[in-house]
Chain A
Amino acid sequence: MKTNLNMKKRLESRESVLIGLILLFMAVMTITMPRFIHPSNLANILKDSSILIIVSLGQFLVILTGGIDLSVGSNIAFSGMAASLINQNNPELSPWIILVIGMAIGLGLGMINGSLVAFGKVPAIIATLGTMSVFRGFTFVISKGQWVTAHEMTDPFMNLPHGNFLGVPNLIWFAIFVVAAFFYFMRYTRSGREIYSIGGNKSAAVLVGVSEKKVQFLIFSISGLVSGMAGVLWAARYAAAVNEMATGFELQTVAACVLGGVSVAGGSGSVAGVLLGALFMGLLNNSMTMIRNMAFFQMLLQGLIVISAMTFNVVMERRQDKMLLNRRLA
């Protein structure tokens, strides 16, 4: 019971630290660059972060079990390209149906990863490193190396992320919906709790009857599903389906997770943490495009953030363990 309280306290503090960081960052940016705080820019940051939030939550589930999904970027490219091609060839088709098809494609790709890991016993990193290049390769195959550009897309399709509902852009609604769904799923459903249990202590979870195979298949499928959704939104938002789109996006999703306090060893992390981590990454990306030549530093900075966040997590965990040990000894 005490451990539980302690864990909760730690997670809460992690989230408040992140909120503090975000506010501090925004304050610094506003002072150096007043146009940063302009409502249209803030809306832009939220819109930019939305897709990252959606995909990071899928990545979160995979990392929670100690795995990793390196194929999310290629999944986004394939499903985004497929959706754009469908839209180009069938302009009368409702964008919502295209969204569903895109999600189904993403789910299918995720299920391939899931089958390899759950039933083929291929380590997650190898399976997704392989499918990362396979999916990307097939993106080129279906597009024949061509782009789908804005004038080949229909207006309703491009309105899917850009339209408004109650004054809030649809893209943000999508993110809100996904966050709510994940929050409910991870906290109140049996499958969600099983994912935590496999990540926390696999052998104990298996002993009490949790199916490891089922959980692994499930998490990669979900990661694929949200990547498919993100792919359609990505293509429609930037009004272009490019073969190279979302290259390296997997690192950003991992960054959002570890910033949000998800342990790379598995077992701990929260939806709220990942949400804040993704928001922070979105904030960072946006501000980097505002400073001249900063875009070239993006890759370096992301890597540095990931490694510092992981080091921080590990040090905190170790301190936590030592505290628990001391208490037990006392």
Chain B
Amino acid sequence: MSDNLVRQDRLIDEFSFKKRISRLFSSWEFILFLTLVGIFILFSFISPYFMDYFNLMNASLSFAEKSILALSMIFVILSGDIDISVASILALSSFAMGNASVKGAGSGTLVIIGLATGLAAGIVNGFLVTKIKIPSIAVTLATLSIFRGISQAILRDNAYTHYPLKFAYFGQGYIGNSVIPFEFVFFLVLAVLMGFILHKTTYGRKLYAIGNSASASRFSGINVDRIRFINFAVNGLFAGIAAVLLTSRIGSTRPNIATGWELEAITLVVLGGVAITGGKGNIFGVVIASLLVGYLKFGMALVNLSAKVMVITTGALLITAVLVPMLLEIAKAKQKLRSQRSELKLERKAS
């Protein structure tokens, strides 16, 4: 009886206001947020052009597409898979739109073609991973070169540059007469949508279950392969969305469009606190990480750092974002072991 009471006390304690606040302040998302604020303060001292509302809004154009890729990548990584073919899906999708545009398709048709191509490519990945049962790393490494290879084989060293005037709105338009880009708002809408699915639906709960233990989930009646399949399909669809936005923004398609963006998308997800081994993470972290990396790069560009330095930064960020939590976990495990050992010693002495 008293045991039960103690447990209840503990439960109440767990949910107490104080505990919740302290947990919030020590959370990964809060650290990210502080870093974001730090970046803003730092760059506003370094460059007078950083803290400008118009500049800040326009800068969102440079990361909105990559961040959209990251949104659906959360689902893939949460359930323990990975997709390194997204940038190539984007290229294929952009190629399909360019090809249709040359043949005189209107902007509505172009959007449908772009999305459908992305979805189809995602379905191919999902099929190979869940039906043929090849590990997702290997599948998407191969499709990475197949999808981009298709556009390279047909487009060769040419480019599609003719798109309808109306089509330009998605990537270059602003909301009403404001300076808020359409792309940025669209990213936020998608983030809310994906956040809702992730945190408020059974589908989202199942993703966490699969990421923690695929076999336990299977034995609990979750159709694991179907969910993984849907994840890859959605990831393809989102690459299609990003393709529409990017193609509309730069108004041209070359086979090498968006090369290396898979690295950026995965970096955002991992930096956002999603465990690369699956089963842990949330949408807020990834959204904050998107802003953080986006404005870090914007600031670096303002102070004239070369693109190569940024590539190094992205790679280093990716590794650190995975390495630091892993090292912390290892240290924690070691400490636990040590305290268990000393407890054991005390017990032995007492007896």
Residues of A within 8 A of B (CB): 68, 70, 116, 120-123, 125-127, 129-134, 136-138, 140-141, 145, 248, 251, 254, 258, 264-265, 293, 296-304, 306-307, 310-311, 314
Contact = CB atoms under 8 A, between A and B. Distances in A.
B194 to A, nearest CB: 22
A248 B145 contact: yes
A264 B134 contact: yes
A300 B152 contact: yes
Contacts of A293: 156
Given A297-B153, A299-B149, A314-B133, A133 B311 contact: yes
Contact of B312 (A123, A137, A302, A306): A137
B300 interface: no
B309 A125 contact: no
Given A126-B318, A130-B318, A302 B156 contact: no
Interface string B140-153: 01111111111011
Contacts of B157: 296
Contact of B319 (A68, A116, A138, A265): A116
A299 B88 CA distance: 12
Contacts of B314: 133
A138 B146 CA distance: 28
Given A126-B318, A129-B315, 12 more contacts: A68-B138, A116-B319, A126-B319, A127-B319, A130-B315, A132-B315, A133-B312, A251-B144, A293-B156, A301-B149, A302-B149, A303-B142
A126 B266 contact: yes
B152 A129 contact: no
A25 B145 CA distance: 23
B146 A311 contact: no
Contacts of B316: 130, 134
24 contacts: A68-B141, A116-B323, A122-B319, A125-B84, A126-B266, A129-B263, A130-B263, A130-B318, A131-B315, A133-B260, A133-B312, A137-B312, A140-B308, A141-B312, A248-B145, A297-B153, A299-B152, A299-B153, A303-B145, A303-B147, A306-B145, A307-B142, A310-B142, A314-B132
Contact of A311 (B134, B276, B311): B134
Contacts of B312: 133-134, 137-138, 141
Nearest to B327: A120
Chain B interface size band reads 35 or more
Nearest to A313: B134
A296 B138 CA distance: 23
A187 B315 CA distance: 36
A311 B263 contact: no
B149 A303 contact: yes
A304 B147 CA distance: 10
Contacts of B137: 68, 125, 264
Given A251-B145, A303-B149, A126 B315 contact: no
Contacts of A310: 134, 138-139, 142
A169 B226 CA distance: 54
Nearest to A266: B135
A306 B141 contact: yes
A130 B319 contact: yes
A16 B247 CA distance: 48
A129 B263 CA distance: 7
B153 A296 contact: yes
B109 interface: no
A167 to B, nearest CB: 37
Given A129-B266, A131-B319, A137 B326 contact: no
Contacts of A311: 128, 132, 134
A293 B153 CA distance: 9
A137 B311 contact: yes
Q: 9 closest A-B pairs (Cβ-Cβ)?
A: A300-B149, A303-B145, A137-B312, A303-B146, A299-B149, A133-B315, A130-B319, A134-B315, A306-B142
